Amino acid sequence: MVNKLNPRLQEPLEEQPLDTQGFERPRNLLNAINEDLAPLLDLAQRPVVSANQFTREQLLQLARLAARYETQPQMITRPLTGKILVSAFYEPSTRTRLSFESAWHRLGGDIMSITDPASTGIAKGETLYDVGEMLNHYGDLVVLRDSNEQAVYEMLESLRVPIINGGNGTDEHPTQALADIYALLKWRPAICQPELDPTQHIRIGIIGVPGRMRTVRSLLVLLGLFSDAIAEVVIVSDKEQPFAAGQREELEAAGLTLRITRDLNQSLPDMDVVYINTIAWIGDDYEELGSHYRLEQSSPLKPDAIILHPLARGDELPRELDNTPHNWYFAQARGAVFMRMALLSSIMKTFT
Amino acid sequence: MVNKLNPRLQEPLEEQPLDTQGFERPRNLLNAINEDLAPLLDLAQRPVVSANQFTREQLLQLARLAARYETQPQMITRPLTGKILVSAFYEPSTRTRLSFESAWHRLGGDIMSITDPASTGIAKGETLYDVGEMLNHYGDLVVLRDSNEQAVYEMLESLRVPIINGGNGTDEHPTQALADIYALLKWRPAICQPELDPTQHIRIGIIGVPGRMRTVRSLLVLLGLFSDAIAEVVIVSDKEQPFAAGQREELEAAGLTLRITRDLNQSLPDMDVVYINTIAWIGDDYEELGSHYRLEQSSPLKPDAIILHPLARGDELPRELDNTPHNWYFAQARGAVFMRMALLSSIMKTFT
Amino acid sequence: MVNKLNPRLQEPLEEQPLDTQGFERPRNLLNAINEDLAPLLDLAQRPVVSANQFTREQLLQLARLAARYETQPQMITRPLTGKILVSAFYEPSTRTRLSFESAWHRLGGDIMSITDPASTGIAKGETLYDVGEMLNHYGDLVVLRDSNEQAVYEMLESLRVPIINGGNGTDEHPTQALADIYALLKWRPAICQPELDPTQHIRIGIIGVPGRMRTVRSLLVLLGLFSDAIAEVVIVSDKEQPFAAGQREELEAAGLTLRITRDLNQSLPDMDVVYINTIAWIGDDYEELGSHYRLEQSSPLKPDAIILHPLARGDELPRELDNTPHNWYFAQARGAVFMRMALLSSIMKTFT
C-alpha cells in the first residue's frame, strides 16, 4: 500500500519558483525591446511551416509579446472566443500538442483534437489535400504534426486558413525553435541589441545532429538571425557528416561561424549555452543519436552556462541537473506556451 | 529537404471563394423560403435517428436557418454556452465528427469526445443502455456513430437527452442527407416551391447502392419529400438488387420515379444532379461498391450539372473536377456545418 | 432494417425523473447541514490522492455544496472560465473521465484530454516526474488515472498545480468514494447528525474485496468518518482474507464494526444499504471477484434498502432492479458530477 503520509498531501501547494526558471527575467526582456507591431502584422493569416519564414524583427516582437503575456497574465483577455483550433497530431506528442492547446485555450478559443490517425478518415485513404479542404470550413487554424515531411505541404495546397507546422518528420519544428530563442533572449536580453560588444558575444554548443533532427535544424536557422551576437556555434556529434547537403553553407551564408567536434567535455568549458537532444524522428519511430553524450553535475560547465533541451529527455540529461542554475530547460518549456500564444495571436490578428 | 520557397508561405492566405462553392447562393435560398419557426419547434428535445422523421416543412426551415448562419455569420451568438455535447464516435470518422463539433463550438458549447472505443467502459462490457443512462447526467446532447445499426436504438432506450445518429452501420446517416439537401436547395432554390413547372423538374443520378449505403438510404428518403420537383431518380449500379427489401416500394409510395441502370455514361447527359459514393460500411470495415464507376472531366455531363459526394472520396471522383463548375461537393461539405448548426439549434431550442 | 416507428422518435423527450433517482432529496440534505466554508478553504490548492485526507466536516460541506449545485443549477456561474483541466487517463475510462470533464465544463473551464498513452510522450519513455513539471505550465489542475499505483505519487513530486487521483491501480479512488457518500447522505440526511439515536443506525453490506478494490478501499475510509451512525459494515466475500494487511485494524481504529460473511442472502434481510462491485483493476486489465454474488428482484432485500454500485456493472446487478425503489445507483452516478463540481470548486477556490 502507498504511503498515506506523503508530506505533499498535508498542505496546499505553493508555486515555488526556482531562480532557474526565469520567472523574473521576462521583465528585462520586455524592457530591452521597443514595441513595434508592424512585423507581427506581416504574420497575419500566414502559414508557419519553416523557420526560414521569420525575420529578426519578427522574432524580437514575438518574444516581446510572449514576455508581456508571461509577466502580465492578468492582461490576457479571451480574444479567440468563438475561434476553433484543429489540433491534428498524426504522430505521438504530448508536449507540443498540450502546449499549443494550452496557448489557444488561454486566449479563449475552442479546440478540436485529432490524436489518433486510426480514428480518422485518413484511415480510409483520404488525401491530406482533401482533409485540408474540409478543415477550411470546420476550423480557423490548423496545427499539424505528421511523420511525413511532405504532409504539411500537401495540406497547404488546399488550405485557406493558416496552418502551423508542429513537426514534419525530420524536416522542421519551427515553433520549438521559437521557444528556444525565447529562452535565450530571456536569459540574455542583450542579444537583442543590434551592435553587441564582441566581449559579450556568446558561444553555443549543440549536442545533436542538424541534418537529421528537426528541432536542431529549425533552431540553427533562427540563430542565423542573431549571428552578430554569436561568436561560434559548436556542433558536438560523432557523425561523419552531421549536416544535410547544403545546410552548413546556408547557415554560414547567414553569418554563423560553425565548428564540429566529437569531444563534448573538451568543448564545454567555453560554452555559454549548451543545447542537447538525442532523439531524431524517423517515420513513426525515433532513433537515438549520440546517446553516449551526457551532461551531468560533474560536467565542466561554465558556472553561468545554461542548458537547453527540447524535452522529452532521456539519460543524456539526468535529474541531478534540475536544481542547478544551469537548468533553463524548464524555463524553456514554460516559455513555450507564451511564445505560442504570441504566434497564435499574431496569425489571428488578435494581439492588440 | 523541402522546398522553402513554396509560394503559399510568402503571403497571407486570402479566402479565395470559387464560384462553384456556392458562397453567394445561400442568400437566394434565404429569400426563397418564408420564415416559419413552428416546424423547428417540433424538433425541440427530439432524438434524430432516421431521415423518416423529417417533414418537408422542417427541411425547408432547417435549410433557411442554415442559410442564415452561412450568410450572416456575424449574427451567430453563443446560445449553447454551458451546454455539453457528448461526441461519441465508436467507428472511425473525421469529417462527421469535426463537422458536428465545429457546429456545436460555433454556437458556444463545450464538448466531450470519445474517439476510441478501447479507451472506454465499453471495453469492460458495459451496455449502451447503461452508457446512455450515464450520459443523461453528464451531457446535454449525444451524437453517436457506431458500426452496429442497433446501437443508437439501444442507447435511446435509456436516454432522456436528445441523441443524433451520426451513422449507424449500413442503416442511416440522416444528417449527411440534410447536408445533401441543403446543397441541392442552395443550387436550385426553386425546388422549394410547392408547384414547380414541370419543365423545371430535375433528374438526379445516384451512383451507389441504396440498400447498403447509409448515406444513399437517408438521402433517398429526404428526396421523397421533394418528389414533386424531381422528374426521375436514376440509380447507377451493377448490382442485381441495389435496393433493400421494401425500400423501392417505400420510395415510390413517397412519389419518386425510380429507374436502375448499369450504364453511367449513357445516363449522364440527362442528369442535372449526379451524386456519387462508392463506400459502404460493413461492421468495422468498409467495402467498395461499384468502384469502376468514375466521373472525370471528359464525362458527358450537362454543362450546368452539379456533382455531389458525401466524401471522403476515392478514385471515383478525381481532383481534375475540383476546378470545374460541376464541383458542388465542396459547397456540400462547407454547408454541412451550417446545416448541423441549424439542427442543433432547433433541438436545443436556441435558434431564435 | 431498423424499426422506424420507434415510439421514442415520435415526440420530444421529457426528463422523466424516477422517484428512485433522488431528484428531490438533495433539498433535505441541504437543510440538514449548516453552511461552513472553513473546511472547504482548507482544500484550496490541495492535491487529492487518498480518502484519508478528508475530515468529516469537509465531507459534509462538500456534500452540502454538491446539493446546492444539484438543486439550484441556475445558480451555477462559470467561475473556472480561463482555467484548464488536464484530464490524463492512462487507463481506460469513460465514466470517471466524462464525469470530471462534465463537472469542469459546467463550471466554465476548458479541458485538454489525454486518453491514449500510446499517443503521448510517455511512449518515448518520459517519466511522470517530467510530465508533471510540464503540466505545471500548461494546466491549472490535473486528474490522473493510471494502472500503476505509484504514478500519482511520482507526478506529485514535480507538480505545483493540484492533482486529483482518478484511480491508481488497486490502491484508491477517492472521488468515487465521495460520490458514494453523497448518495448515502442524500438518502438519509440524518447520518450528518453528530449524535444519532442508535435505533437509526444503519447496517451496510459491501459485496466486494476491500483489499483489492480501490473503490471499496476508499469508501471504507470515508465510512470510518461516520462510524457513529453505522451499526455494522458487513463484507460479503468468498476470499479467505478480503482485507489487505493492516486495513481492518485501521478501519476498526476509526470506529467501524466489521464483520465478514460468505453468505449474501442470509445477510441481506438486515441491510439498509447494499454496495456491490465485482471488478478489480490489476495492471492494464481487470479481474472479476466474487462474480457469483448477484442481486436480483427476488433477493431478500429490506423493502426500503438501497443498492449502490460504482458502475460499470456486469451480471451481478441485472436491469430488473432498475425500476425498483432499491435503485440508488443511478442517483449515485448522477450525483458524482455535482460532488466533483464541489471538490473542483473547493480546490480552485471558486465556490463562493
* Count of CB atoms situated within 10 Å of the CB of A117: 19
Residue C293 has pLDDT above 70, yes or no: yes
Residue B15 has pLDDT above 60, yes or no: no
Q: Please, what is the Cα angle at B284 between B295 and B330, to 5 degrees? A: 35
Query: Which is it for the CA torsion A318, A321, A323, A328, positive or negative?
Result: negative
Residue B229 has pLDDT above 70, yes or no: yes
The whole-number pLDDT of residue A319 equals 95
Query: In this predicted model, what pLDDT tens digit does every residue of A81-92 receive, in sequence order?
Result: 999 999 999 887
Q: Bigger pLDDT: B177 or A76?
A: B177
Contact A139 B102 (CB under 8 A): yes
Q: What are phi and psi of C41, to 5 degrees?
A: -60, -30
CA distance A308 to A223: 14
Residue B75 has pLDDT above 60, yes or no: yes
- pLDDT tier at A278 (50, 70, 90 boundaries)? confident
The whole-number pLDDT of residue C13 equals 65
Look-up of cell digits 460500411: B281
Which chains are adjacent to chain C, needing at least 3 Cβ pairs under 8 Å? A, B
| Shortest alpha-carbon distance between residue C246 and chain A (Å) | 10
- Taken as a whole, chain B contains a residue count of 352
Query: Which is nearest to C26 in space by CA: C51, C79, C63?
Result: C63
Query: In chain C, which residues have their Cβ closer than 8 Å to the Cβ of A3?
Result: 153
Q: Which residue of B lies nearest to A118 if distances are taken between CA atoms?
A: B92
Report, as an integer, the average pLDDT of B203-210. 97
- What is the overall mean pLDDT for chain C? 91
The whole-number pLDDT of residue A298 equals 96
Report, as an integer, the average pLDDT of C135-164. 95
Q: Please, which residues bridge with residue B259 across strands?
A: B234
- pLDDT tier at B120 (50, 70, 90 boundaries)? low
- What is the overall mean pLDDT for chain A? 91
The whole-number pLDDT of residue A20 equals 46
For B336, residues 6+ apart whose C-beta sits below 8 A from its C-beta are A137, B99, B175, B176, B179, B182
The whole-number pLDDT of residue C328 equals 95
Q: Note the pTM of the prediction, 2 decimals.
A: 0.94
CA distance C157 to B13: 46
Query: In this predicted model, what pLDDT tens digit does every residue of A165-190 receive, in sequence order?
Result: 999 999 999 999 999 999 999 999 99
The whole-number pLDDT of residue A235 equals 97
Query: In chain B, which residues have their Cβ closer than 8 Å to the Cβ of C15?
Result: 160
Q: Kindly provide the ipTM of the predicted complex, given to two decimals.
A: 0.93
For A34, residues 6+ apart whose C-beta sits below 8 A from its C-beta are none
HEC-encoded secondary structure of chain A? CCCCCCHHHCCCCCCCCCHHHCCCCHHHHHHHCCCCCHHHHCCCCCCECCHHHCCHHHHHHHHHHHHHHHHCHHHCCCCCCCCEEEEEECCCCCHHHHHHHHHHHHCCCEEEEECCHHHCHHHHCCCHHHHHHHHHHHCCEEEEEECCCCHHHHHHHHCCCCEEEEEECCCECHHHHHHHHHHHHHHCHHHHCCCCCHHHCEEEEEECCCCCCHHHHHHHHHHHHHHHHEEEEEEECCCCCCCCCCHHHHHHHCCCCEEEECCHHHHHHHCCEEEECCEEEECCEEEECCCCCCCCCCCCCCCCCEEECCCCCCCCCCHHHCCCCCECHHHHHHHHHHHHHHHHHHHCCCCC
Residue C188 has pLDDT above 80, yes or no: yes
Q: Bigger pLDDT: A30 or A22?
A: A30
Residue C129 has pLDDT above 50, yes or no: yes
- pLDDT tier at C74 (50, 70, 90 boundaries)? confident
The whole-number pLDDT of residue A22 equals 47
Listing DSSP states for B197-210 in one string gives -GGG-EEEEEES-T
Query: In chain B, which residues have their Cβ closer than 8 Å to the Cβ of C11?
Result: 46
Contact B9 A126 (CB under 8 A): no
Residue C194 has pLDDT above 90, yes or no: no
CA distance A66 to B36: 50
Residue B22 has pLDDT above 50, yes or no: no
The whole-number pLDDT of residue C316 equals 94
The whole-number pLDDT of residue C283 equals 65
Query: Which is nearest to A173 in space by CA: A205, A202, A210, A207?
Result: A210
The whole-number pLDDT of residue C158 equals 95
Residue B152 has pLDDT above 80, yes or no: yes
- pLDDT tier at B247 (50, 70, 90 boundaries)? very high
Query: In this predicted model, what pLDDT tens digit does every residue of C240-275 receive, in sequence order?
Result: 999 999 999 999 999 999 999 999 999 999 999 999
CA distance C206 to B172: 45
- pLDDT tier at B23 (50, 70, 90 boundaries)? low
The whole-number pLDDT of residue C1 equals 43
Cβ atoms of residues B6 and A49 within 8 Å: yes
Cβ atoms of residues C198 and C255 within 8 Å: no
- pLDDT tier at C351 (50, 70, 90 boundaries)? confident
The whole-number pLDDT of residue C278 equals 84
Say what the alpha-carbon torsion angle B122, B127, B128, B134 is, to the nearest 10 degrees. Answer: -90
For a pLDDT cut of 90, what percent of chain B falls above it? 79
| Shortest alpha-carbon distance between residue C119 and chain B (Å) | 12
- What chain B holds in terms of domains, given with CATH numbers, is 19-173+336-347 (3.40.50.1370), 175-334 (3.40.50.1370)
Report, as an integer, the average pLDDT of B226-252. 96
Report, as an integer, the average pLDDT of A281-288. 71
The partner residue sitting opposite A52, judged by closest CB among B4, B101, B286, is: B4
Residue C234 has pLDDT above 60, yes or no: yes
Query: In this predicted model, what pLDDT tens digit does every residue of A217-260 receive, in sequence order?
Result: 999 999 999 999 999 999 999 999 999 999 999 999 999 999 99
Residues in B lying within 8 Å of A, measured between beta carbons = 1-4, 6, 8-9, 11-16, 78, 89, 92-95, 98-99, 101-102, 105-106, 108, 111, 113, 115-116, 279, 286, 311-314, 319, 330, 333-334, 336-337
Residue C125 has pLDDT above 80, yes or no: no
Q: Which residue of B lies nearest to C145 if distances are taken between CA atoms?
A: B119
* Count of CB atoms situated within 10 Å of the CB of C167: 26
Residue B18 has pLDDT above 60, yes or no: no
CA distance B268 to B261: 11
Residue B92 has pLDDT above 80, yes or no: no
